[in-house]
């Protein structure tokens, strides 16, 4: 029986999954074939990526999520106590009237929330590689991310309701302008919009923990909703949270999901995966896989 990786390669050759023409190139632009060992063993992200790129269910879930967010906009706007931001609720605990006077806004993550960057993941699989900040930044500079289904409709609904759309992303500041151009190309931002894109390290205190940026925005806008694909988009988890801590945190705020917090699916990467291999990003692939497999339940 042919391995999944061989079948994946055949699908690419016949154009069955719609990858861009240069998706099989390395960061330098030179074609790079997967080794026989890679073909034999397959790639751990293959099924997750194919689900994102080919399944009807992915389209259904993302459109469903954005539609639910749009349906909640009305309730959020008329309730002066409504805030999706934990930092904001603490900030205005003793002066709710001041919070109610702020202009309304929503916070969205960028990658795998409004922009589908699965083509980058496809290149990693085709080349038998892992995530690398250098190749990722090169990909970002291509400005080739496509809109996640339902995202543009939600952005337009926010504009119609005069709700400001804010983007908080862990893309580095050095690729902010490329990111902005990509958002404009996909209809997620307008050319004349003010700077509503907050990138990592844009300011010294704006680290990968998004708490500092949420706090910054909470002093200027009443945050009606937060949308993202990682728990860090919604709440600060501290350094290197375990899978158990992440699950307990999600459960602790169960009343917010589907109302003030909207989660988009991302089975390819994120804090969920990094926590499985104890956040040791530089560990060998084999060591990571061993730790990940130890979390399996039967």
H-only helix segments in the chain: 4-13, 36-41, 46-54, 56-78, 86-91, 96-100, 118-127, 133-140, 151-160, 176-185, 211-218, 243-252, 271-276, 285-293
Q: Looking at residue 14, what DSSP letter applies?
A: T
Q: Collapsing DSSP states into helix, strand and coil, what is residue 228?
A: strand
* Residue 39 located in a structural domain: no
Total count of domains within the chain: 1
Q: How far apart are CA 61 and CA 142, in angstroms?
A: 27
* Residue 233 located in a structural domain: yes
* Residue 189 located in a structural domain: yes
Q: How far apart are CA 221 and CA 102, in angstroms?
A: 5
Question: What is the pLDDT, as a whole number, of residue 6?
Answer: 38
Q: List the structure tokens of 288.
A: 């990571």
Question: Sorting pLDDT into bands at 50, 70 and 90, what band is 31?
Answer: very low
* Residue 230 located in a structural domain: yes
Q: How far apart are CA 269 and CA 111, in angstroms?
A: 11
54 vs 20: which has the higher pLDDT: 54
Residue with tokens 């994120």: 270
Residue 165's beta-bridge partner residues? 106
What global pTM score does this model have?
Answer: 0.85
Q: How far apart are CA 293 and CA 112, in angstroms?
A: 25
Q: What is the pLDDT of residues 81-97, one digit of tens each?
A: 999 999 999 999 999 89
Question: What is the pLDDT, as a whole number, of residue 42?
Answer: 66
Q: Is 117 exposed, middle or buried (0-12, 13-18, 19+ CB in 10 A)?
A: buried
* Residue 41 located in a structural domain: no
* Residue 203 located in a structural domain: yes
Q: What is the pLDDT of residues 199-235, one digit of tens each?
A: 999 999 999 999 999 999 999 999 999 999 999 999 9
How confident is the prediction for the chain on average, in pLDDT? 89
Q: What is the pLDDT of residues 146-161, one digit of tens each?
A: 999 999 999 999 999 9
**CATH code: domain of residue 153:** 3.40.50.1000
Q: Looking at residue 253, what DSSP letter applies?
A: T
Whole-Å CA distances, 112 to 65, 81, 161, 205: 13, 30, 24, 24
Q: Collapsing DSSP states into helix, strand and coil, what is residue 97?
A: helix
Q: How far apart are CA 130 and CA 127, in angstroms?
A: 9
* Residue 65 located in a structural domain: yes
* Residue 18 located in a structural domain: no
Tell me the average pLDDT across 271-293: 95
Q: What range defines the domain where residue 81 resides?
A: 56-118+146-293
């Amino acid at each position: 029986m042919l391995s999944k990786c061989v079948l994946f390669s055949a699908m690419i050759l016949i154009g069955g999954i719609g990858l861009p023409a240069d998706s099989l190139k390395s960061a330098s632009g030179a074609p790079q074939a997967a080794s026989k060992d890679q073909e034999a063993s397959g790639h751990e992200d293959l099924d997750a990526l194919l689900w994102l790129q080919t399944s009807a269910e992915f389209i259904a879930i993302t459109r469903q999520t954005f539609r639910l967010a749009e349906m909640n906009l009305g309730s959020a706007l008329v309730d002066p106590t409504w805030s999706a931001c934990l930092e904001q609720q603490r900030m205005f605990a003793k002066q709710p009237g001041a919070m109610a006077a702020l202009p309304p806004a929503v916070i969205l993550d960028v990658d795998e929330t409004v922009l589908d960057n699965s083509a980058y993941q496809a290149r990693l699989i085709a080349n038998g590689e892992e995530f690398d900040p250098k190749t990722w930044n090169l990909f970002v500079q291509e400005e080739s991310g496509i809109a996640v289904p339902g995202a543009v409709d939600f952005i337009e609904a926010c504009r119609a309701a005069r709700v400001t759309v804010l983007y908080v992303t862990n893309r580095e500041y050095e690729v902010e302008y490329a990111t902005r151009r990509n958002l404009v190309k996909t209809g997620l931002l307008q050319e004349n919009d003010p700077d509503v894109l907050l990138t990592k390290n844009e300011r010294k205190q704006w680290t990968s923990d998004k708490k500092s940026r949420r706090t910054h925005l909470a002093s200027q806008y009443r945050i009606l909703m937060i949308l993202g694909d990682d728990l860090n988009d919604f709440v600060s988890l501290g350094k290197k949270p375990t899978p158990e801590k992440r699950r307990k945190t999600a459960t602790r705020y169960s009343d917010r999901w589907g109302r003030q917090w909207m989660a988009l699916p991302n089975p390819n990467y994120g804090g969920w995966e990094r926590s499985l291999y104890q956040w040791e990003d530089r560990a060998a692939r084999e060591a990571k896989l061993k730790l990940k497999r130890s979390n399996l339940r039967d």
